[in-house]
Amino acid sequence: MATLARKSISLDRDLSPTIDAWTSDAVQNGVTKINGGYIQTQTINSSHLIVEDIFATGSAAMNIISARELNADLITSGAINANFLSLYGLKVLNKTTNQETLNITDNGEITLRGSVESYNFNTGKTGWAIKHDGDAEFNDVVVRGSVITNDGGIVSGGGSGRNLLLNSYSDKKNSNTSYPCAIYNLAKKVTADEKYTFTIRAEFTNSLTIALYFGGGSYGSQWVSIPGDGTHTISFTFTADANKAAQSSVHVYVRDQANSASFTNGSCKIIWAKLEEGTVATAWSPAPEDNLKQVRFWAGASYDEREAAPWIVYNDGSMVATKGIFSGVFSGDIKIGNISITDPSSSTGNDAILTITNGSTGVEAVQLTDRGTSVFRQSVVFRSASAGSTDTTISLEPNGTGIFKSSVQVGSGANVAGLENDKLVIRGHALTHNSSGLQSNSDFFVGEAAHKKNLKTYGDMYATGVVRTDDMVLFANKAQMKIVANGLNIDVFNS
């Protein structure tokens, strides 16, 4: 297009507020051309307007259109400067390749090939950016829903709306012979003249419609069409009346779109459902009365397999981990396999308890406490200090048997007593055995001077040395030998 100004067209609004028929400078192949100049008017109507530069306000520059309203199906220009643009869509092309790089549809959908970032974006420091490869960087993020990766994530507790349906997360499949798909009890009855929103996520087959009925088939909402086969989330809002407000349960009904009186084809498998106050559908959450234990954080599994992930944190604060290294101080209760540790602050007796349970029988095999009585229901074995040694030095059995490899000592120093291998040692005096019986390495005393005691034998007693007595020797009731002042009396009794 030429840039030499040949003339200026200025139209008074009262005379001609709209230019519909152009004054031709030249017509080539049916295209009207104005070769440079200035056009000023209130409205311009054209199916295709080509200008090197379009400005919304007038100036002395070449190729200027000053108009309050510009109507054109297609505008081709190097630059458009305006205080306000009202468009049904916007398409931006690469100047060199003519490839589309940005597209904004009339319903607000945006597609672009490049990246988007703030003017102050500095990697790792300030601003934000969304890259064309999917990477993104922000300073802080507030997420009202879930954050899900390929093998982990954070699951939202649901929207702010209170779910009025009890036990609303379950797989329920209808029998394909009648249209009640599920029945839910209400945690709280609805209120007449109030608006409520029902949302359901389910797997559907065939062309179906769905509705929510209170107390059975008499008091229902509107029927809503299902898009078709597949998993869909359906939501609709209705106003409760007095009849609905009197009911304590709701029925989810599904029927054929082609035959509104029956349900003979298709299926409905509910994943979850939610009934909440208001006109806005929020993310699913259980009714507080369900006391449902939900996964909040997990790693090592997909979203669908999160309940079996190797690491899980639940909404009640409990955690599951198949392995890990822990350090520092923990409070609360910890369970690792068959081992549980109870924190004193959470136990009724203020005792720390460590319990080891038999994995096969479920019996508490060992229970250790910090103040009470510790319990062992299995053998306690001590082995030598050598690494990997299987040499048992002490074994305490549940039946009361104690086995000691070397010795047992009671007391200390000169007062020590104990068992050493095959002898009993008390303060240096030993009682052992030989091939004939027990043997003492020192004198053997029975009783003491002030408290005399008898030595009784129920068999023969042999002495290879001297037998001494300070009083007498009694032979049952047959005879006795008694020491007297001038000798020894021997008495024989008649039986």
3-class secondary structure per residue, the chain: CCCCCCCEEECCCCCCCEECCCCCCEEECCEEECCCCEEEEEEEEEEEEEEEEEECCCCCCCCEEEEEEEEEEEEEEEEEECCCCCCCCEEEECCCCCCEEEEECCCCCEEECCCEECCCCECCCECCEECCCCCEECCCCCCCCCEECCCEEECCCCCCCCCCECCCEEEEECCCCCCEEEEEEECCCCCCCCEEEEEEEEEEECCEEEEEEECCCCEECCCEECCCCEEEEEEEEEECCHHHHCCCEEEEEEEECCCCCCCCCCEEEEEEEEEEECCCCCCCCCCHHHCCCCEEEEECCCCCCHHHCCEEEECCCCEEECCCCCCCCCCCCEEECCEEEECCCCCCCCCCEEEEECCCCCCEEEEEECCCCCEECCCEEEECCCCCCCCEEEEECCCCCEEECCEEEECCHHHCEEEECCEEEECCEEEEECCCCEEECCCCCCECCCCECCCCCCCCCCCCCCCCCCCEEEECCCEEEEEECCEEEEEECCC
Residues facing residue 368 across a β-bridge:
354
Q: What is the pLDDT of residue 129?
A: 94
Report pLDDT for 3.
30
Considering only CA atoms, give the Rg of the chain.
Answer: 49
Give the model's pLDDT for residue 16.
44
d(CA 355, CA 318): 18
pLDDT score of 263: 62
- 495 residues of the chain, pLDDT tens digit each: 333 233 333 334 343 445 555 454 555 566 555 555 556 566 666 666 666 555 544 444 445 666 666 666 667 666 676 777 777 888 888 888 989 999 999 888 999 999 999 999 999 999 999 998 989 999 988 887 778 888 888 877 665 688 999 998 865 544 444 577 889 999 999 999 999 999 999 888 887 888 899 987 778 888 898 888 888 999 999 999 999 999 999 999 888 776 665 666 777 888 899 999 999 998 888 888 887 788 889 999 888 788 889 999 988 888 888 888 877 777 777 777 788 877 766 555 567 788 888 888 878 888 888 767 888 888 888 888 887 788 888 888 888 888 887 777 777 777 777 777 777 777 777 778 777 777 777 777 777 877 777 777 777 777 777 777 777 888 777 888 888 888 888 888 876
Q: What are phi and psi of 413, to 5 degrees?
A: 60, -135
Which pLDDT does position 5 carry in this prediction? 30
